Amino acid sequence: MNISIVGVGHVGLVTAAVLADYGHTVMGLDDDAAKLEALRSGDVPFFEPGLQELVDRVTADGSLAFTGDLARAVDHAEVVFVCVGTPGLPGGGPDLRFIERVAVEVAQHATRDVVLVEKSTVPANTGARLTQVIEREQQRRGSDAAAVHVASNPEFLREGVAVKDTAEPDRIVYGTASDLARERLREVYAPMVAAVGCPVVETDVPTAELIKHASNAFLATRLSFINAVANVCDKVGADIELVAQGMGHDARIGHAFLQAGIGYGGSCFPKDVDAFLHLSRSVGYDFGLLDEVRQINAGQRQVVLDKLRDELWHLTDKTIAILGAAFKPGTDDLREAPAIYLAEALLEEGVTVRMYDPVALGGVATALPDVKLFDDPLVACRGAHAVVIATEWEQIRSLDLSELKAALGYPIVIDGRNCLDGRAAMDAGLHYHGIGRGHLRS
């Protein structure tokens, strides 16, 4: 099929490359000239394992090309996926200007039937709004207007494993309001379904939108739940990992997403929880559970600060090393990263903050110029009053504990990701604190 992808950021570029690899002819559109220039000269402008090789392959065989010209992208396509950003607004809802503009422009330029698919994460009812916007534009255009069929096809990829998640999804969900849209989306995904055998959930448009909201909100709730349990484990001398294991063996609960720690970050969960809460309130239902989910998540950073204060009394004029900046391993993404919040809070208290990350230091230099950056974790720890682990990179998990002890000024470790062997750390003479590893102190 001929497909266009509007917005070649993380979701858009991965989707474009994977669909091209499944045999479609894909055009990626973006209005960011620098990004387009990079892509045209063969560079993927962000870090995502395996994506550069995939983009190289599908651009070399001509199945993926890039343009800055929307009319050309619309002219090319039977299906247009919209993957533009929906950044959060101060009031909690997402900024939908970009997605609205794309719908208007597609309606202006369409010369034959086209399916317009929302892939950006948007509030349930965006499909209805887009249809309204498109109808207005078509009325303005008059009789030469072509039909634009709105559909929703949420994505469930995780950064860091985005190529695999997209090429071999657990499930495909799309919501449509016409036979033509449903048939075309079946055709888009037919090669993937044949290769992977994943289930397909076909729905109407608002139901597909709700599936995305509910999935991310549920996962975030799971994380805040396990983090709250971890905080109790700390107080009663229990071991959160064994608690999670014991719970996870119940087939109704399962093991995934029960890793307690410093809290979730990234461009999705924080924004999506806010957006779902905002949406539910705007339609007259107060989904207060989600308020609690956000508060527990923000509180996890405070848990780390409290543990530092327990060990060091006040923090002013102390030196703290933070190992890991990215919101999780496998990405250089710093959006809503717990490490960044923590560094900001420490800087505000007059702490000298040192930071190590294998790939994300460039972004830290821009976001927090006062943080001292190190490309070696042990050098970052040298002489520090304490170290906090904020991202469980392999380079950090595999640190030699005696070398870590020797490097630190005071042997204090707050493991915000429970990624070190706590018992071994204590045997090596470190004052080790995990999250919910109260059993180590009892």
Catalytic sites, residue numbers: 268
Stretch 247-286 residues interacting with ligand UGA (CB under 6 A): 257-259, 261, 264-266, 268-269, 272
156 counts as binding ligand UGA under rule CB under 6 A: yes
7 counts as binding ligand UGA under rule CB under 6 A: no
Hey, what's the torsion of the CAs at 224, 228, 230, 235, to 10 degrees? 160
User: x/- string (CB under 6 A) for ligand UGA, residues 56-95?
Assistant: ----------------------------------------
State in angstroms the smallest separation of the CB of 64 from ligand UGA.
Answer: 21
Spatial distance between the Cα atoms of 423 and 209, rounded to a whole number of angstroms: 45
CB 74 within 8 A of CB 106: yes
CB 19 within 8 A of CB 188: yes
State in angstroms the smallest separation of the CB of 310 from ligand UGA.
Answer: 22
State in angstroms the smallest separation of the CB of 37 from ligand UGA.
Answer: 26
Closest to 58 measured CA to CA, from 163, 129, 139: 163
CB 218 within 8 A of CB 290: no
State in angstroms the smallest separation of the CB of 333 from ligand UGA.
Answer: 8
DSSP helix/strand/coil, 69: coil
State in angstroms the smallest separation of the CB of 34 from ligand UGA.
Answer: 23
Helix H segments across 197-268? 205-236, 240-248
Residue closer to ligand UGA (CB basis): 88 or 409: 88
Of 159, 209, 241, 274, the one binding ligand UGA by CB under 6 A: 159
Question: Under rule CB under 6 A, how many of the chain's residues touch ligand UGA?
Answer: 21
- Give the range of 150-158, 187-195, 197-205, 359-367 binding ligand UGA by CB under 6 A: 150-158
Of 21, 30, 155, 357, the one binding ligand UGA by CB under 6 A: 155
Phi, psi torsion values for 373, nearest 5 degrees:
-105, 145
Residue closer to ligand UGA (CB basis): 28 or 265: 265
State in angstroms the smallest separation of the CB of 432 from ligand UGA.
Answer: 19
Buried-state track 129-151, b at ≥16 Cβ within 10 A, e below 16: bbbebbeebbeeeeeebeebbbb
End-to-end CA distance of the chain: 62
Stretch 290-349 residues interacting with ligand UGA (CB under 6 A): 327-328
223 counts as binding ligand UGA under rule CB under 6 A: yes
Spatial distance between the Cα atoms of 355 and 334, rounded to a whole number of angstroms: 13
Buried-state track 92-116, b at ≥16 Cβ within 10 A, e below 16: bbbebebbeebbebbbbbbeeebbb
14 counts as binding ligand UGA under rule CB under 6 A: no
151 counts as binding ligand UGA under rule CB under 6 A: no
Residue type, 280: S
Of 16, 39, 157, 339, the one binding ligand UGA by CB under 6 A: 157
State in angstroms the smallest separation of the CB of 300 from ligand UGA.
Answer: 9
Stretch 114-143 residues interacting with ligand UGA (CB under 6 A): 121
Residue closer to ligand UGA (CB basis): 225 or 410: 225
State in angstroms the smallest separation of the CB of 159 from ligand UGA.
Answer: 4
Residues 6+ apart with CB under 8 A from 333: 10, 46, 159, 266, 267, 326, 327, 360
Handedness of CA 337, 338, 344, 347 (dihedral sign): negative
Residue closer to ligand UGA (CB basis): 327 or 432: 327
Residue closer to ligand UGA (CB basis): 98 or 257: 257
Token pair of 45, please?
A: 């402008």
Residue closer to ligand UGA (CB basis): 230 or 380: 230
Residue closer to ligand UGA (CB basis): 352 or 395: 395
Q: How far is CA 26 from CA 11, 29, 161, in A?
A: 14, 10, 21
- Give the range of 12-20, 86-94, 154-162, 345-353 binding ligand UGA by CB under 6 A: 154-162
Number of Cβ within a 10 Å radius of residue 400: 11
Residues that bind ligand UGA (CB under 6 A): 121, 155-159, 216, 219, 223, 257-259, 261, 264-266, 268-269, 272, 327-328
